[in-house]
C-alpha cells in the first residue's frame, strides 16, 4: 500500500487544520486486546521512539503556531495522546506542556485535551494538568465485567479499580474542571443497560461510544450472525437515555439528533463534518487519524514530518484534503444513500477494503443505516407533542464556550433560536390570558402560508419585553394592540394583504422589522391599518396616512427601518417601538438625519475595530446582535449603555465614539449571552439572598448581578489587554478590570451559591483569565 505522501496531492490552497493529536508517549501500561495502536494492522509503533522529546514537541508547536497565524485561526485544539500520555510523569509532562503552549499561545487560543487510560492519574499529575488547563478524557468500557473483557494489564490483571479511582479524582471539587468525559469502546457481548448505568455512575460531562475498529478485510464481531448488533446495542442505550431525559451528553446521539435537524454531527464517526485533524507521532512524523491504523500496515503514514514540512503541506495531501470535503468525497453507494447526511459513510477507517481502498460504504453500513432510522424514529416518538425549545439540542460545549468568554456563530445562533422559542411561548401565553384577537388570527393565517415571514417578525428583540409587560399587567388588554403591528409587519414580509386594528400609543404605531408610523402630538387611540399591494393605509386619530413601501422614503408620518450593513450582516436602529422602553435609561426619540449618520459611522467603524482588534468577539455579535436602541445622552456626559434581560439580540446606548462603542458592544453583548444561558441553565441558587462584594460598585450585589458583572468585566479586561501599547491608559484599565473580575470571581466561587454547573462555568472563565495573566 502506498504511503499517503505518495498517494497524490490535492494541490491548490491548503485548508486550515485546527486539531492536532500529539503522541507524547508511544508505549502503554495496559495491554488491551482491542487497541488499534498495538493490536491492529499498522505496527509502526515498533520503530518509533518511546516518547516525544521536548525538541520535537517545541517544533510541532511552532508548526501549529505558524499554521494558526497564517490562517488566522482563532483557536486550535491539541490532544495529548499515546500510547499512554501519563507515562511521561508529572515533570516531563510539565516541561512538554510548557514547550507546547509557549509558541501556540503567542499566536492563538489553545484548547488542551488528553485522552488517557487513567490508571496512573494522581494528584501530582492532576496539578500539572490543572496548571496548564488540560481537560482529561478517560477510557472505560462500562462495568467491571465489560471493562475486564479487554482493558487489562499485560499480566491479565484488571484495570477497572485504578480507572475508577482516576475518575473519582477527576470528580473531586479540586480537579472537577479537568474532567472532560469517558470514551467507551463498544463490545456487543456486554449488556448495554449495565454499561450505560456504569458510565452514568461516574458522572461524566460527556460520553463517547466508539465502534470497535474494523474494515471489510477484518469485519467486526457479529455474535450469532445477527445483522445489526451494533445498531441494536446502541438503540437500547438511546432508549434508556431518552427515558432518563438525557442526563449526560452522549456524543453519538447528540450528533444524530443534530444531523436529523440539518446540524453538524460534532464527531468523526457519523455525519459529514469536515475532519481537520492531523496526528504528530513521537518522532515528529505527521500521520492521519489513529483509526486508519486498522486498515493496513503503514496506512496512516504521510511521509512528512514536523522537522521538514509545514502543516499546510500536510493539509494539501489528497486524503487529508478529501476528508474536509464532506459528502462529495464518499463512495457512489453512500452518495445515493437516503441517510447519507446523517451517516456520511461512518468513520473513514471503517470503509477500507483491499483493492478499492476507502471508496466503500462503512463495514458497519447495515448497523449505521438501522441506527440512523431507529434513533430518528425513537426521537420522533419521544418528543411527540413536545415544544420545539425542548427538542432543540443544547450544543455539547455550550457552557464551556460561553464561559470561555466568546461563543462561536452556531452556538450563539442556537441561543438566539431558544430565545425565539421563549418569545413565541410568551406570545401564546398572552393569547391564553386575553383570548385571540383579530390581529392574532391574521398572524396565524400568515404563518400558515409563509412561516418565515412570521419568524422574521418574532425575532424582533422587543416582542418578549412587550409580552412580559402585558402578562404582568394582568387584565389590561390595551397593550394587545401591539399585535396589530406584528401582523402588519408579517403581512409586509409575506406580501399578503391584511386589515387589522392597531393601537396608537403616544403618537406611534410600530411595525417591528419594517418601520414606524407617527402621528403628531403624541395622540393615543385605535386605528385601522391595511397592508395591500406594497402599500400601507392607516386611519385613526383624525387622519389617514398612506405609505408606499417600495419607495422606502421617510416622512413626517413614516420611518422605514434603518439598517446599518456591516459586511455580511446588519444592525437595525430601533427608535420607534414603544416596547424598547425597558432599559435603565430613556430611549432617544425618533432620530434626525444627523443623528442617524452618527450612528451609521460609529457602528461601521466600531465593527471594523472589533474585527481587527477583538476578532474573537466578532462571531457572537454577528450571530446574535440585531438591534441598537439609541438612548438619551447623559446630562453630565457619562457613558450610558444597557442590555435588557428580556430583549436578547438588542442593546441600548447613548451616542459615543467608535472606539468606545466597540468596547461597549463587546461588554453589553456579554450580558446578552449570559442572560440567554441563564434562561436555560441553573448556574446559581435563585433563592439565595446572599450578596456578593464586587470591585466595580460600592454596594454588594445579588448573585446574578455579580455573575453578569464578572462575565462582562472579564471581556472588558480582555479588550484592554489586547489594546495595551496601542491606546493610552490601556494597561491601567486592563489591570483595573482584571482586578474586578478576579476578585468577584473568587467571591462568587466561595459564596456557596453556585450550582455544580455554575462552578464549572466560573472555573472555565477563570481558566481563560489565567491564560492572560501568565
Ligand atoms: S448507511 Fe451505509 S451507504 Fe448509507 S451513508 Fe452510511 S455507510 Fe454509506
Cell digits of residue 230: 451494533
d(CA 344, ligand 1 centre) in Å: 6
Q: What share of the chain has pLDDT > 70, as a percent?
A: 93
State pLDDT tens for residues 429-458.
888 777 788 999 999 899 888 888 998 999
pLDDT surpasses 60 at 475: no
pLDDT surpasses 50 at 203: yes
State pLDDT tens for residues 339-372.
998 999 999 889 999 998 889 999 999 999 999 9
d(CA 212, ligand 1 centre) in Å: 17
Ligand 1 atom with the shortest distance to the CA of 331: 8
- Reference 19, options 72, 69, 70, 80; nearest CA is 80
Ligand 1 atom with the shortest distance to the CA of 372: 1
State pLDDT tens for residues 281-294.
999 999 988 777 76
Substitution site in 342, 362, 364, 374 for ligand 1 pocket (most atoms within 8 Å of beta carbon): 362
Mean pLDDT lowest among 474-488, 596-610, 664-678: 474-488
What is the pLDDT at residue 8?
A: 41
pLDDT band at 386 (very low <50, low <70, confident <90, very high): low
State pLDDT tens for residues 162-186.
999 999 999 887 787 788 899 999 9
- Reference 567, options 520, 621, 530; nearest CA is 621
Substitution site in 331, 340, 371, 376 for ligand 1 pocket (most atoms within 8 Å of beta carbon): 340
d(CA 708, ligand 1 centre) in Å: 46
Q: Which residue has the higher pLDDT, 553 or 160?
A: 160
Task: Give the closest residue (by CA) to ligand 1 atom 1.
Answer: 369
Evaluate whether 264 touches 401 at the Cβ level (below 8 Å).
no
What is the pLDDT at residue 208?
A: 94
State pLDDT tens for residues 391-408.
455 565 677 778 876 777
What is the pLDDT at residue 265?
A: 79
Bridge pairing between strands 558-560 and 701-702: unpaired
d(CA 343, ligand 1 centre) in Å: 6
Q: Which residue has the higher pLDDT, 453 or 421?
A: 453
- Reference 238, options 266, 207, 270; nearest CA is 207
Contacts of 458 (CB under 8 A, 6+ apart): 420, 423, 424, 427, 486
What is the pLDDT at residue 33?
A: 79
Task: Give the closest residue (by CA) to ligand 1 atom 6.
Answer: 345
Ligand 1 atom with the shortest distance to the CA of 339: 4
State pLDDT tens for residues 510-558.
999 999 999 988 888 999 999 999 999 999 988 898 999 988 789 999 9
The residue assigned the cell 462503512 is 362
What is the pLDDT at residue 706?
A: 94
pLDDT band at 324 (very low <50, low <70, confident <90, very high): low
- 3-state SS of 49-64 is CCECCHHHHHHHHHHH
Task: Give the closest residue (by CA) to ligand 1 atom 3.
Answer: 334
Cell digits of residue 333: 453507494
State pLDDT tens for residues 708-734.
999 999 999 999 998 898 889 999 999
Q: What share of the chain has pLDDT > 90, as a percent?
A: 56
Cell digits of residue 143: 462495568
Mean pLDDT lowest among 19-23, 160-164, 205-209, 460-464: 205-209
d(CA 24, CA 181): 20
Mean pLDDT of 576-600: 93
Mean pLDDT score across all residues of the chain:
87
Substitution site in 334, 335, 360 for ligand 1 pocket (most atoms within 8 Å of beta carbon): 334
d(CA 268, ligand 1 centre) in Å: 14
Ligand 1 atom with the shortest distance to the CA of 369: 1
d(CA 371, ligand 1 centre) in Å: 11
Q: Does residue 510 sit in helix, strand or coil?
A: strand
The residue assigned the cell 473519582 is 168
d(CA 335, ligand 1 centre) in Å: 8
pLDDT band at 478 (very low <50, low <70, confident <90, very high): low
What is the pLDDT at residue 42?
A: 60
d(CA 364, ligand 1 centre) in Å: 8
d(CA 370, ligand 1 centre) in Å: 10
Ligand 1 atom with the shortest distance to the CA of 364: 7
Ligand 1 atom with the shortest distance to the CA of 334: 8
What is the pLDDT at residue 30?
A: 83
What is the pLDDT at residue 91?
A: 96
d(CA 290, ligand 1 centre) in Å: 22
Task: Give the closest residue (by CA) to ligand 1 atom 2.
Answer: 365
Mean pLDDT of 314-322: 81
What is the pLDDT at residue 75?
A: 78
d(CA 211, ligand 1 centre) in Å: 15
State pLDDT tens for residues 82-115.
889 999 999 999 999 999 999 999 998 888 999 9
Entry pTM? 0.54
Mean pLDDT of 649-656: 94
d(CA 325, ligand 1 centre) in Å: 17
Ligand 1 atom with the shortest distance to the CA of 340: 5
Task: Please give all residues whose beta carbon lies within 6 A of any atom in ligand 1, as ranges.
Answer: 333-334, 337, 339-340, 343-346, 361-362, 365, 368-369
Taking the CB of residue 223, how many other CB atoms lie within 10 A of it? 9
Mean pLDDT of 57-84: 92
Amino acid at each position: 500500500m502506498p504511503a499517503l505522501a505518495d498517494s497524490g496531492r490535492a494541490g491548490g490552497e491548503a485548508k486550515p487544520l485546527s486539531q492536532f493529536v500529539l503522541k507524547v508517549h508511544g508505549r502503554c501500561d495496559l495491554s488491551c486486546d482491542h487497541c488499534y495502536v498495538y493490536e491492529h494492522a499498522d505496527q509502526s509503533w515498533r520503530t518509533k521512539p518511546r516518547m516525544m522529546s521536548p525538541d520535537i514537541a517545541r517544533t510541532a508547536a511552532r508548526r501549529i503556531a505558524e499554521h494558526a497565524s497564517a490562517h488566522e485561526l482563532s483557536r486550535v485544539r491539541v490532544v495529548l495522546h499515546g500510547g499512554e500520555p501519563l507515562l511521561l510523569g508529572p515533570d516531563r509532562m510539565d516541561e512538554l506542556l510548557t514547550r507546547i503552549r509557549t509558541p501556540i499561545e503567542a499566536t492563538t487560543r489553545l484548547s488542551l485535551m488528553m485522552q488517557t487510560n487513567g490508571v496512573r492519574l494522581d494528584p501530582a499529575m492532576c496539578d500539572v494538568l490543572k496548571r496548564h488547563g488540560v481537560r482529561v478524557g478517560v477510557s472505560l468500557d462500562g462495568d467491571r465485567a465489560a471493562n475486564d473483557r479487554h482493558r487489562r494489564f499485560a499480566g491479565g490483571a484488571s484495570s477497572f479499580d485504578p480507572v475508577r479511582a482516576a475518575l473519582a479524582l477527576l470528580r473531586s471539587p479540586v480537579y472537577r474542571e479537568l474532567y472532560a468525559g469517558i470514551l467507551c469502546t463498544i463490545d456487543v457481548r456486554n449488556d448495554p443497560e449495565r454499561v450505560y448505568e456504569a458510565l452514568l455512575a461516574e458522572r461524566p460531562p460527556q460520553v463517547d461510544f466508539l465502534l470497535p475498529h474494523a474494515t471489510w478485510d477484518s469485519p467486526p464481531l457479529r455474535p450469532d450472525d445477527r445483522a445489526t448488533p451494533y445498531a441494536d446495542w446502541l438503540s437500547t442505550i438511546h432508549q434508556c437515555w431518552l427515558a432518563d431525559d438525557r442526563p449526560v451528553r452522549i456524543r453519538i446521539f447528540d450528533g444524530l439528533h443534530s444531523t436529523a435537524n440539518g446540524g453538524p454531527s460534532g464527531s468523526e464517526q457519523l455525519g459529514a463534518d469536515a475532519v481537520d485533524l492531523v496526528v504528530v507521532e513521537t518522532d515528529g512524523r505527521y500521520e492521519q487519524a489513529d483509526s486508519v491504523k486498522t486498515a493496513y500496515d503503514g496506512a496512516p503514514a504521510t511521509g512528512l514530518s514536523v522537522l521538514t514540512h509545514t502543516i499546510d503541506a500536510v493539509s494539501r495531501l489528497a486524503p487529508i484534503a478529501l476528508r474536509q470535503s464532506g459528502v462529495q468525497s464518499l463512495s457512489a453507494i453512500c452518495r445515493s444513500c437516503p441517510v447519507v447526511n446523517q451517516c456520511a459513510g461512518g468513520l473513514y477507517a471503517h470503509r477500507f477494503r483491499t483493492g478499492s481502498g476507502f471508496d466503500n460504504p462503512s463495514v458497519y453500513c447495515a448497523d449505521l443505516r438501522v441506527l440512523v432510522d431507529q434513533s430518528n424514529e425513537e426521537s420522533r416518538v419521544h418528543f411527540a407533542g413536545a415544544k420545539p425549545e425542548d427538542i432543540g439540542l443544547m450544543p455539547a460545549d455550550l457552557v464551556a464556550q460561553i464561559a470561555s468568554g466568546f461563543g462561536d456563530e452556531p452556538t450563539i445562533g442556537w441561543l438566539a433560536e431558544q430565545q425565539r422559542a421563549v418569545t413565541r411561548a410568551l406570545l401564546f401565553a398572552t393569547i391564553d390570558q386575553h383570548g385571540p384577537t383579530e390581529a392574532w388570527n391574521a398572524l396565524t393565517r400568515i404563518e400558515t402560508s409563509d412561516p418565515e415571514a412570521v419568524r422574521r417578525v418574532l425575532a424582533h428583540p422587543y416582542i418578549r419585553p412587550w409580552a412580559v409587560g402585558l402578562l404582568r399587567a394582568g387584565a389590561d388588554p390595551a397593550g394587545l394592540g401591539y399585535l396589530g403591528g406584528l401582523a402588519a409587519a408579517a403581512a409586509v414580509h409575506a406580501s399578503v394583504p391584511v386589515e387589522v386594528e392597531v393601537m396608537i400609543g403616544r403618537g406611534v404605531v410600530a411595525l417591528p422589522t419594517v418601520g414606524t408610523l407617527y402621528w403628531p402630538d403624541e395622540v393615543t387611540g385605535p386605528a385601522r391599518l391595511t397592508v395591500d399591494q406594497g402599500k400601507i393605509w392607516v386611519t385613526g386619530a383624525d387622519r389617514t396616512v398612506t405609505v408606499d413601501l417600495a419607495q422606502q422614503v421617510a416622512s413626517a408620518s413614516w420611518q422605514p427601518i434603518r439598517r446599518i450593513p456591516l459586511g455580511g450582516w446588519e444592525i437595525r436602529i430601533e427608535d420607534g417601538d414603544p416596547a424598547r422602553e425597558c432599559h435603565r435609561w430613556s430611549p432617544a426619540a425618533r432620530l434626525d438625519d444627523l443623528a442617524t449618520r452618527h450612528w451609521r459611522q460609529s457602528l461601521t467603524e466600531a465593527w471594523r475595530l472589533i474585527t481587527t482588534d477583538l476578532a474573537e468577539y466578532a462571531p457572537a455579535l454577528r450571530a446574535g446582535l440585531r438591534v441598537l436602541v439609541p438612548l438619551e445622552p447623559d446630562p453630565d456626559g457619562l457613558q450610558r449603555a444597557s442590555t435588557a434581560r428580556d430583549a436578547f439580540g438588542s442593546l441600548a446606548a447613548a451616542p459615543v465614539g467608535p472606539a468606545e462603542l466597540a468596547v461597549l458592544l463587546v461588554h453589553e453583548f456579554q450580558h446578552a449571552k449570559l442572560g440567554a444561558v441563564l434562561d436555560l441553565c441553573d448556574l446559581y441558587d435563585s433563592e439565595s439572598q446572599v450578596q456578593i462584594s464586587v470591585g466595580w460598585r460600592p454596594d454588594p450585589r445579588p448573585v446574578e448581578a455579580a455573575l453578569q458583572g464578572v462575565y462582562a468585566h472579564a471581556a472588558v479586561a480582555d479588550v484592554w489587554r489586547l489594546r495595551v501599547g496601542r491606546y493610552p491608559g490601556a494597561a491601567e484599565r486592563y489591570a483595573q478590570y482584571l482586578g474586578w473580575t478576579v476578585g468577584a470571581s473568587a467571591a462568587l466561587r466561595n459564596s456557596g451559591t453556585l450550582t455544580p454547573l455554575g462552578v464549572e462555568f466560573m472555573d472555565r472563565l477563570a481558566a481563560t483569565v489565567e491564560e492572560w495573566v501568565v
